[in-house]
């Protein structure tokens, strides 16, 4: 009888662990960076822009500026004077600034191998993003060469664009 009880307890523990792992896997699969994000200036702590991220059918992530919170003396029609190529002197609002991020096979909450444009200086950096805080925040890293030497901003998910 005692062996039977131990066996039943072992099966129950195994079942609880496997359902917990399945739940965390399904939660990770449900998390997506697609949506609207408020970018926060890592120096001033003030909002800079609203960026819309979307995934293509191939699960590649891109991001476009929907709105900027103008600096004093600037407005919503700010253009990227420092940008090169087809983005030179184009409006920042509407500009694709995040490109070609692919979901990591090691970490389902991360997307790597992309590029991010800083419209302020016109420079493009390699980029990785990672969902944190159950998908409510997004760590966005821009770097040159290795991610070890880069800068990370934390963006905040926006549920209601009217209140952003």
Which pLDDT score is estimated for 1?
Answer: 52
Which pLDDT score is estimated for 2?
Answer: 55
How far is 124 from 111, CA to CA, in rounded Å? Answer: 17
- Is a pLDDT exceeding 80 seen at residue 3? no
Which pLDDT score is estimated for 41?
Answer: 86
Neighbours of 27 (CB within 10 A): 13
How far is 125 from 115, CA to CA, in rounded Å? Answer: 6
How far is 39 from 133, CA to CA, in rounded Å? Answer: 16
Burial class, 39, CB count within 10 angstroms (exposed 0-12 / middle 13-18 / buried 19+): buried
Confidence of residue 30 (pLDDT cuts 50, 70, 90): low
How far is 31 from 55, CA to CA, in rounded Å? Answer: 12
How far is 136 from 87, CA to CA, in rounded Å? Answer: 30
Number of H helices, E strands in the chain: 1, 8
The per-residue pLDDT for range 46-104, each reduced to its tens digit, is: 999 999 999 999 999 999 999 999 888 877 889 999 999 999 999 999 999 999 999 99
Detail the DSSP E strand segments found in 71-145.
96-103, 110-118, 123-132, 137-143
Which pLDDT score is estimated for 162?
Answer: 74
For the entire predicted model, the pTM comes to 0.79
Please give the DSSP secondary-structure letter assigned to residue 64: E
137 vs 19, higher pLDDT: 137
Question: What value does the mean pLDDT of the chain take?
Answer: 84
């Amino acid at each position: 009888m005692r062996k039977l009880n131990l066996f039943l307890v072992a099966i129950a523990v195994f079942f609880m662990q496997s359902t917990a792992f399945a739940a965390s896997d399904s939660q990770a699969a449900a998390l997506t960076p697609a949506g609207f994000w408020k970018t926060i200036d890592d120096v001033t702590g003030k909002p800079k822009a609203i960026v819309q991220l979307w995934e293509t059918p191939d699960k590649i992530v891109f991001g476009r500026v929907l709105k900027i919170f103008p600096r004093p003396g600037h407005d919503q029609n700010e253009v990227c004077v420092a940008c090169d190529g087809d983005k030179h002197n184009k409006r920042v609002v509407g500009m694709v600034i995040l490109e070609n991020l692919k979901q990591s096979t090691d970490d389902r909450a991360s997307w790597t191998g992309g590029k991010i444009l800083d419209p302020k200086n016109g420079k493009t950096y390699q980029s990785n993003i990672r969902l944190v805080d159950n998908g409510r925040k997004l760590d966005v890293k821009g770097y040159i060469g290795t991610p070890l030497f880069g800068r990370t901003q934390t963006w905040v998910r926006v549920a209601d664009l009217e209140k952003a």
